[in-house]
Amino acid sequence: MTVDAYLSFGSNIAPRFEILQCAIEALHLLPDSGVELVSSIYETEAVSPYPQADYLNCVAHIKTELTPEALLTSCREIEFSNGRPVSRDKNAPRTLDIDIIFYGNQIINATKLIVPHPRYADRRFVLEPLAEIAPDYICPDTGTSVAHTLDQCTDRSRVHQFFLETV
């Protein structure tokens, strides 16, 4: 059975843009999956208890036959192949972070995977790119649209589209 899944990508360790490009390219190689749409890239303020560089973030919509657990494993492999250490401090800078935001309309509360992502509705850096590609998607945990969730989000951190400067 094919499922619509939404993944959030973030990087704040150079080369951020190239790392996101590599991650999206790797996403195209997932077995039994296809990339439907990728949002613009957004530059976002780090939401962290200590100062760190801004992030680049985007969201991808895929159709997949992978189980949620297999998708999580594939995402971790993409992270590790892009330099993410196996263990690190929570909220520490990272070369790449991939989160499963939605997996169809499923609600999953397992030891290693919680879907919908438990903090997606509080993170403008997830909601802005998600609303760009799926504003009418109904969040399975709330029954409201992504656009409505973004409108209700209290996170006021800086989020704006990223444009690569050319020389």
Q: Residue 41 gets which letter from DSSP? A: P
Judge whether residue 165 has pLDDT over 70. Answer: no
φ and ψ at 33, to 5 degrees?
A: -145, 160
Which one of 16, 97, 123, 124 is the catalytic residue?
97
Judge whether residue 166 has pLDDT over 70. Answer: no
Which one of 99, 155, 156, 158 is the catalytic residue?
99
User: Which pLDDT score is estimated for 48?
Assistant: 77
Buried b / exposed e over 75-86, threshold 16 CB at 10 Å, is: beebbeebebee
Active-site residue flag, 94: yes
Helix (H) or strand (E) holding 153: none
Judge whether residue 11 has pLDDT over 90. Answer: yes
**pTM, two decimal places:** 0.94
Active-site residue flag, 4: no
Active-site residue flag, 141: no
Give the pLDDT confidence of 39-85 residue by residue, as tens digits: 999 999 988 777 899 999 999 999 999 999 999 999 999 999 998 76
Identify the CATH number of the domain defined by range 3-161: 3.30.70.560
Domain ranges of the chain: 3-161
Give the pLDDT confidence of 84-130 residue by residue, as tens digits: 766 656 677 889 999 999 999 999 999 999 999 999 999 999 999 99
Which one of 32, 54, 76, 84 is the catalytic residue?
84
Active-site residue flag, 119: no
